[in-house]
Amino acid sequence: MFRGLGEPVARQLEGVELVTPDIVYDGSYELDLGGRSVQLRPMGQAHSKGDQVIMVPDAGVMFTGDLVEAGQFAIFPWFPPYDTDVSGVRWIEVMQRLAGAHPRVVVPGDGDIGGAQLLAEVSQYLAELREETWKRQDSAMGQETLVEEVRALLINRHPDWAGQEWIEPGVGCLCAEHPLRCPGAVTS
């Protein structure tokens, strides 16, 4: 799929070989790295179908992968009909659950390492995106106008964030999760 996203991406993937995992598990898994415990925890469908966080409890560190992006709009891999595993609604729930763990250090998928405030910022942004998308449910505007309004509003609220191109797929995803609420929603 990624090779199909264009020549620049395909070039970066030349020679890449997928490796079969040594360990396969259901649910959580705990690794002992010579006296340091590392916990692998599945989060269920949110940013993707198989989101997982890695916790290092004795250090208070949480690795989030692309569930958290620091200093940028959340990456919504929403490309119907091929890639629709993201769930904006579940993503908000997952972020609230992760914030409850109170990590000291959060290592995001992209951007600078931070603290628990990164979890709150992503959760707040996702809730803003959902709220601004869904509150336009009763309007007579089309999908294109809805996207333009939400995009302009969120860029205004977060002018220094990168990745503005991810706002539109986020709106599309949230519309598809509640197609009766959004005009012209594309469902998978």
pLDDT digits (tens, 9 = 90+) for 19-64: 999 988 888 999 999 999 999 999 999 999 989 999 999 999 999 9
Closest CA to 145 of 133, 160, 129, 159: 133
Domain assignment of residue 48, yes or no:
yes
Closest CA to 16 of 30, 29, 2, 31: 2
Closest CA to 97 of 156, 53, 138, 128: 53
Domain assignment of residue 76, yes or no:
yes
pLDDT of residue 26: 85
What's the total number of domains in the chain? 1
Give the other-Cβ count within 10 Å of 132's Cβ: 19
pLDDT of residue 182: 57
Percent of the chain with pLDDT over 70: 94
pTM summary value: 0.86
Residues 168, 129: Cα–Cα separation, whole Å: 10
Q: Band the pLDDT of 181: cuts 50, 70, 90.
A: low
Domain assignment of residue 64, yes or no:
yes
Strand order of the β-sheet with 37-44 is 29-32, 37-44, 51-56, 61-69, 105-110
Domain assignment of residue 13, yes or no:
no
pLDDT of residue 153: 97
pLDDT of residue 141: 78
Residues 182, 143: Cα–Cα separation, whole Å: 7
CATH number for 67: 3.60.15.10
Domain assignment of residue 1, yes or no:
no
Give the other-Cβ count within 10 Å of 41's Cβ: 17
Domain assignment of residue 5, yes or no:
no
Domain assignment of residue 184, yes or no:
no
What is the residue range of 117's domain?
A: 21-177
pLDDT at 179 over 60: no
Domain assignment of residue 155, yes or no:
yes
For the stretch 109-149, pLDDT in tens is: 999 999 999 999 999 999 999 999 998 866 777 889 999 99
